[in-house]
Amino acid sequence: MADEIEELIRKYALRNAVNFEGEADVGPVMGKVMGDSVECREDPEGTKQLVVQIVQKINQIPPEEQKKELKELMPEFFEEEEEEEEEALPELDSDRVVMRMAPYPSGPLHIGNARMILLNDEYVKRYNGKLILFFDDTIGSEQKKPLPEAFDMIKEGLEWLDVDWHETYYKSDRMDTYYEYGEKIIEMGESYVCECSAKELRERREKGEACKHRSKTVEQNLEDWHAMLDGEFKEGEAILRLKTDMKYPDPAFRDRVLFRISERTHPLVGDEYRVWPLLEFSWAIDDHLLGMTHILRGKDLVMEDKMEEYIWDIFGWDHPEFLHYGMLRLKDVNLSKSEFQRKISKGKIDGWDDPRTWSLQSLRRRGIQPEALRDFILDFGLSKTDIEVPASKLYAKNRESIDIVANRYFFVPDPVEIELQGEIELEKAEIPRHPDKPERGNRILETGKKVFIPREEYEEYQGQEIRLKNLCNLTLEGNKGIITGFGNKDILKIQWLVEGIDVEVERPDATVEKGLGEKNLEETKAKDIIQFERYGFVKILDKEPFYTVFGHR
């Protein structure tokens, strides 16, 4: 059984190393192993020691050897990679492409919205077409309402993503057009003003029973429609419904609502309008009038497809083509704008660039590159399968973008001072600014008998041999480090500093970790992305005090 557990750990350590450029991390490997093995869960301490040992050995193997061994132990990993590479955007059967992206301005764009945005942008660029930015700013609900600041934040996010759009529209600017076609559909005898309560409407729908208002004449409906517009009905007292088939198999499609009354104030047009179209009606009108050729939306919105087609058929209009994609979720990531809106209003979150929101502003603040996000999204193509992936897949893409530009520095979180026992060979340690860019030169670190090391390793590795990276090997005994040699051994390597500057790192959960950074950080500038060795990539926000935001490992 011991051999089987070691093989399991080795498999996951190799997979983690291959995903992260040759360097496995104990945490994710531990999580996978504990999830797969009952024996490991029964002995967490022993398992962790074994995971640490195997991860350290794996990290000493050249990346190509890691891939070769993983291919023998886990060939399905590479088959999955090949399948992902084959995912692509299907060709469009058209030489003319007009598409629209329709964000609802309840907050900035977040990573979940990026799929809709980037798929539209990619298709339009591929076919040299036209892309329309259409703010879907209908009045919304009390829980989900448009925010005045969201309009500019959405444009800011699009510009950061290098999305090119050609025209901009707001639904709140087109209310007279919706009223015009709302009246036309009444005149055609295809809709009626209904005064049923929400409860009665729901019950009749489920039974497939028409209400008494359905049989009103066109003249009566026009009179009631104008009464709605003139404020003679209050919110909830009247709606305009489309006549479909009350025996339609799906009760939700039976006489759906086209317009409703809302007495809430709109951030752009104030109280000018009180009767607002529902999305299916406004889109049916706009997609025709603005000449959309292809409509890209989530596969869960098939009801909206049916409604648009039904309305187009009433007016005798041609149908654009629908393209659908599945849901893309990041594992353990909350993307609720309404929840973050509430937390921001209550002061529990400082703003939309807080790392917990996963807004495009927060990703930019963390040093995520727009091209990395684009590659991450487009790798999934137009697949209709719902996908849940770990954030590490995005981080792997970002690492490809920033690794070569990010110079390396030492950072010691929550430092503890220890005294070295024995002779130190080096008066100064010379370490490359970047291991693959010798032309950038070396950093110089002062050495001495007293050094600072991270508290976590100080507490966890008492009595064990570890290595101060680029300096010496030692055994921790309390606040003393007994030097055991200088050769690069297969043992844990940690950061160290004799002196430095105070550094703060904002973590993804918005907590701030304090520590000591090497003095060479003074050569950096704000907005630089750097790597704290064996800690992760960070973006520098301020130099005084030295404040950074953690991106990822």
Per-residue pLDDT tens digits for 249-306: 999 999 999 999 999 999 999 999 999 999 999 999 999 999 999 999 999 898 999 9
Grade residue 38 by pLDDT with cuts at 50, 70 and 90: low
Residue environment code for 403-442, b if the CB has 16+ CB neighbours within 10 A, otherwise e: eeebbbbbbbbebeebebeeebeeeebebebbeeeeeeee
Q: Is residue 342 pLDDT above 60, yes or no?
A: yes
CATH code for the domain defined by 337-402: 1.10.1160.10
The one-letter amino acid at 101: M
The one-letter amino acid at 181: Y
With a pLDDT cut of 90, the percent of the chain lying above it is 77
Residue 86: burial class (beta carbons within 10 Å; 0-12, 13-18, 19+): exposed
Whole-number pLDDT of residue 514: 98
Average pLDDT of the chain is: 92
Q: Is residue 377 pLDDT above 80, yes or no?
A: yes
Strands (E) across 381-463 are located at: 387-389, 408-409, 411-413, 415-421, 428-432, 442-446, 450-454
**d(C-alpha 337, C-alpha 335), whole Å:** 6
Residues 226-244: what's their mean pLDDT?
97
Point out the least confidently predicted range of 234-243, 381-390, 531-540.
381-390
DSSP 8-state secondary structure symbol assigned to residue 299: G
Q: Which CATH architecture has domain 407-553?
A: Beta Barrel (2.40)
Q: Minimal CA–CA distance to 470: which of 505, 524, 522, 430? A: 430
Residue found under tokens 């973050």: 340
In this structure, which CATH number among 3.40.50.620, 3.10.100.10, 2.30.110.10, 3.40.50.12280 belongs to the domain 91-330?
Answer: 3.40.50.620
The pTM score is: 0.82
DSSP 8-state secondary structure symbol assigned to residue 75: H
At 371, give phi and psi (nearest 5°): -70, -30
Residues whose CB is less than 8 angstroms from the CB of residue 227 and which lie 6 or more positions away in sequence, other chains included: 233, 238
**d(C-alpha 148, C-alpha 483), whole Å:** 62
CA geometry: angle 226, 313, 209, nearest 5 deg = 65
User: Which tokens belong to 212?
Assistant: 């008494």
Structure confidence by residue, pLDDT tens digits, 317-328: 999 999 999 988
In angstroms, how far apart are the furthest CA atoms of the chain? 101
Structure confidence by residue, pLDDT tens digits, 58-108: 888 888 888 888 888 777 666 554 444 444 789 998 889 999 999 999 999
Q: Is residue 243 pLDDT above 50, yes or no?
A: yes
Q: Is residue 129 pLDDT above 80, yes or no?
A: yes
Grade residue 16 by pLDDT with cuts at 50, 70 and 90: confident
Residue 275: burial class (beta carbons within 10 Å; 0-12, 13-18, 19+): buried
Length of the chain in terms of residues written: 553
SS3 of 39-66: HHHHCHHHHHHHHHHHHHHHCCCCHHHH
Q: Is residue 35 pLDDT above 90, yes or no?
A: no
Residues 305 and 281: beta-carbon distance below 8 Å: no
Whole-number pLDDT of residue 323: 95
Whole-number pLDDT of residue 545: 94
Whole-number pLDDT of residue 159: 98
Grade residue 44 by pLDDT with cuts at 50, 70 and 90: confident
Structure confidence by residue, pLDDT tens digits, 194-203: 999 999 999 9
Residues 9 and 50: beta-carbon distance below 8 Å: yes
Structure confidence by residue, pLDDT tens digits, 139-190: 877 777 899 999 999 999 999 999 999 999 999 999 999 999 999 999 999 9
Whole-number pLDDT of residue 475: 98
Whole-number pLDDT of residue 76: 66
Q: Is residue 130 pLDDT above 80, yes or no?
A: yes
Give the three-state DSSP class for 20.
coil
Residue ranges per structural domain of the chain: 2-86, 91-330, 337-402, 407-553
